[in-house]
Amino acid sequence: MKNWKLYFEKHLNRKPKEQLIKALSFCASKNVALDLGAGTLIESRAILNNGFKKVIAIDNAPDVGLFVKNFNDVRLSFKNISFKEYNFPKNKFDLINAQYALPFNGEKGFNTLFKKIKNSLKNKGVFVGQFFGVKDSWNKKGSDLVFHKKSEVLKLLSGLEVIEFI
């Protein structure tokens, strides 16, 4: 597992990601959200501040514990597990946020993971997140991340209405 300590320190005081703020405006209802690879929990906080009743945050990095300790909001439920270990409930989430997180799952089991994510969305639920392109600078021999061509991403997104693809 990668050590995220420096990344977290760098990101500590930033604003919530713009893509998430945009996605929030498309949420038809705001009951439960899932934040995958939640890191410093900045996006989890923004989701709750936007009116969600609950956020489940998943991240397998041990360092996230400190952010959870300082979060002070009972509407957050944090699970220190990997995406693969999470038992995705069906038809549950109004929003699934995955900022710069899913590619770190690696190629093995990625398609199954994304199928579970889609099945976990409620009707009219919103997914926001990134895939890393094949030209990404991290796409080096031996990398254990997964990189996608645009056509592959569009295939993964099948069954969802694409609101914005950049």
Ligand X SMILES: C[S@@+](CC[C@H](N)C(=O)[O-])C[C@H]1O[C@@H](n2cnc3c(N)ncnc32)[C@H](O)[C@@H]1O
List residues near ligand X by CB under 6 A.
Answer: 4, 7, 11, 37-40, 58-61, 82-83, 99-101, 104-105
Q: How many helices (H) and strands (E) does the chain have?
A: 6, 7
**Is 146:103 a contact under the CB 8 Å cutoff?**
yes
Rounded to whole angstroms, the Cα distance separating 165 from 45 reads 24
Six-digit token string for 31? 């009951």
Toward ligand X, which CB reaches closer, 140 or 161?
Answer: 140
User: What's the closest the beta carbon of residue 72 comes to ligand X, in angstroms?
Assistant: 19
Name the minimum Å distance from CB 136 to ligand X. 12
Closer to ligand X by CB, 73 or 154: give it: 73
Pick between residue 39 and residue 125 the one whose CB is nearest to ligand X. 39
Report whether 140 contacts 111 (CB < 8 A). Answer: no
